[in-house]
């Protein structure tokens, strides 16, 4: 059965890689060398749009139902979000709507959420200052900061008709709980397919709460699918640079493609959790596929503390049981393939891998597996594999390393 699951991951990663390369503007990528920096703008924004120069004009443009499908262009300014406005002051993009700052000057268009509290940033679940996910949405060329009371600066938890397609490019996300939260969340998003491109963003010093530069997660749902293509992004000074997980979910899939991304000086560079059971909820039959071409994962744990007890530049765990109920994660898979990624200077192993893990002392789970393939300079990485912690008598939890 596991051979079939890994073949399925390999088959699914193929289309995801094509999607990733399209996010990198078609630049040629060698499997042995880091991809070159993107040289052309592939913005979704064409022609003119509705312009806003202050916070009143921004809210008027975003919340006007006649502007669905249109692009909103922000003039350079400081936009301080106001909890007294619609949606608690959050910016919620309508079906097909896009939001853009000034091209080449993301630091000149600043959205500040320091005035929004937990109530303002809650809509059934804790959410973000900017929300996307209705059809094809895009956010480009701006800065989002100080979302310390909400889930993230930019959140994908709005669902529209059909497949959700999101592009976030040339955005600076600083001093938030999370920079970007790419997720399917709740029973209403079961079977939802989310396609995401993240290009040339800077995720820095997001240390409030969870402190994640980027989270990609199926959460409390079933059969959710997320394809995320990352290219030329920088994540630094976060507690975790990136987290990919299926949380309290079943039969969910994450496919993450990273090309020439720099994850440096975070507590952990990347944390990949095939299935995580939090409390009494079971997590099973989930998969995470992570492929990286070029880029770096370095300096983890040096300037920022690790996100959890598991240390490493890249941490991969098939099944994670964070509660006290034994055997609560099962048949989860993580597949990792790294081509020419530089891993060095990590204040812990470069790669830490566990088939199943829990800190509570009970049996974490069974039939949870991790497979890691290292190519090019990545073969030099220091890898510490642990089939199961605590040990599992049946030996069904495994870690496989190929160099």
User: What's the pLDDT score for residue 141?
Assistant: 98
Q: Report pLDDT digits (tens) over 52-94.
A: 999 999 999 999 999 999 999 999 999 999 999 999 999 999 9
Q: By residue range, what is the domain housing residue 369?
A: 2-27+177-402
Minimum mean pLDDT range among 33-37, 187-191, 204-208, 291-295:
33-37
Contacts of 152 by beta carbon, 8 Å cutoff, 6+ apart: 127, 128, 129, 176, 177, 178, 179, 180, 181, 215
Can you give the pTM of this predicted structure?
A: 0.91
The percent of residues above 70 in pLDDT, for the chain, comes to: 88
Q: Report pLDDT digits (tens) over 195-248.
A: 999 999 999 999 999 999 999 999 999 999 999 999 999 999 999 999 999 999
Is residue 11's pLDDT more than 50?
Answer: no
Is residue 360's pLDDT more than 90?
Answer: no
Is 135 exposed, middle or buried, given 0-12, 13-18 or 19+ CB atoms closer than 10 A? buried
Q: Is residue 79 part of a domain?
A: no
User: What's the pLDDT score for residue 65?
Assistant: 97
What is the pLDDT confidence band of residue 99, given thresholds at 50, 70 and 90? very high
User: What's the pLDDT score for residue 47?
Assistant: 53
Q: Is residue 12 part of a domain?
A: yes
Q: Is residue 228 part of a domain?
A: yes
What is the pLDDT confidence band of residue 46, given thresholds at 50, 70 and 90? low
Q: Report pLDDT digits (tens) over 254-306.
A: 999 999 999 999 999 999 999 999 877 889 999 999 999 999 999 999 878 88
Q: Is residue 204 part of a domain?
A: yes
Q: Is residue 103 part of a domain?
A: no
Q: Is residue 169 part of a domain?
A: no
User: What's the pLDDT score for residue 307?
Assistant: 74
Q: Report pLDDT digits (tens) over 14-28.
A: 444 444 445 665 443
- The token pair at 152 is 């993230």
170 closest CA partner among 211, 136, 128, 198 = 198
Q: Is residue 86 part of a domain?
A: no
The percent of residues above 90 in pLDDT, for the chain, comes to: 79
Burial 297-318 (b: 16+ CB within 10 A, else e): bbbbbeebebbbebbbbbbbbb
- The token pair at 251 is 């039969």
Beta bridge partners of 191: none
Beta-sheet strands, E only, within 260-368: 262-264, 268-277, 283-284, 287-293, 296-298, 314-321, 329-330, 333-339, 342-344, 351-357, 365-366
Is residue 320's pLDDT more than 90?
Answer: yes
Question: What is the domain count for the chain?
Answer: 1
- The token pair at 33 is 């060398």
Q: Is residue 368 part of a domain?
A: yes
User: What's the pLDDT score for residue 9?
Assistant: 55
């Amino acid at each position: 059965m596991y051979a079939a699951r890994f073949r399925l991951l390999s088959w699914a990663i193929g289309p995801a890689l094509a999607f990733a390369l399209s996010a990198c503007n078609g630049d040629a990528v060698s499997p042995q060398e880091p991809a070159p920096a993107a040289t052309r703008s592939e913005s979704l924004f064409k022609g003119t749009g509705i312009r806003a120069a202050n916070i009143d004009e921004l809210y008027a443009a975003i919340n006007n139902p006649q502007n669905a499908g249109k692009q909103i262009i922000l003039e350079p300014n400081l936009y301080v979000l106001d909890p007294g406005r619609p949606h608690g002051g959050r910016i919620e993009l309508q079906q097909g709507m896009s939001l853009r700052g000034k091209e080449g000057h993301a630091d000149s268009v600043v959205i500040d959420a320091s005035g929004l509290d937990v109530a303002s940033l809650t809509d059934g679940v804790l959410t973000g200052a900017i929300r996307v996910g209705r059809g094809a949405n895009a956010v480009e060329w701006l800065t989002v900061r100080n979302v310390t009371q909400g889930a993230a600066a930019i959140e994908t938890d709005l669902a529209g008709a059909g497949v959700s397609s999101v592009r976030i490019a040339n955005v600076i996300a600083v001093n938030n709980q999370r920079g970007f939260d790419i997720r399917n969340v709740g029973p209403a998003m079961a079977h939802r397919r989310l396609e995401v491109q993240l290009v040339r963003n800077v995720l820095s010093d997001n240390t409030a709460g969870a402190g994640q530069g980027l989270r990609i997660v199926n959460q409390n749902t079933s059969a959710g699918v997320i394809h995320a293509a990352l290219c030329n992004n920088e994540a630094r000074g976060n507690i975790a640079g990136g987290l990919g997980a299926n949380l309290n979910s079943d039969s969910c899939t994450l496919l993450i493609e990273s090309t020439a991304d720099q994850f440096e000086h975070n507590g952990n560079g990347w944390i990949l959790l095939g299935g995580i059971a939090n409390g009494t909820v079971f997590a099973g039959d989930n998969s995470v596929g992570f492929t990286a071409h070029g880029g770096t994962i370095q300096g983890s744990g040096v300037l920022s503390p690790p996100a959890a007890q598991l240390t490493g530049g890249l941490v991969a765990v098939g099944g994670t049981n964070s509660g006290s109920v034994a055997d609560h994660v099962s048949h989860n898979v993580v597949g990792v393939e790294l081509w020419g990624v530089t891993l060095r200077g990590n204040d812990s192993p470069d790669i830490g891998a566990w088939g199943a893990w829990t800190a509570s002392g009970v049996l974490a789970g069974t039939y949870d597996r991790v497979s890691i393939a290292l190519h090019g300079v990545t073969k030099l990485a220091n890898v510490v594999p642990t089939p199961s912690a605590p040990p599992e008598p049946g030996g069904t939890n495994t870690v496989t390393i190929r160099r």
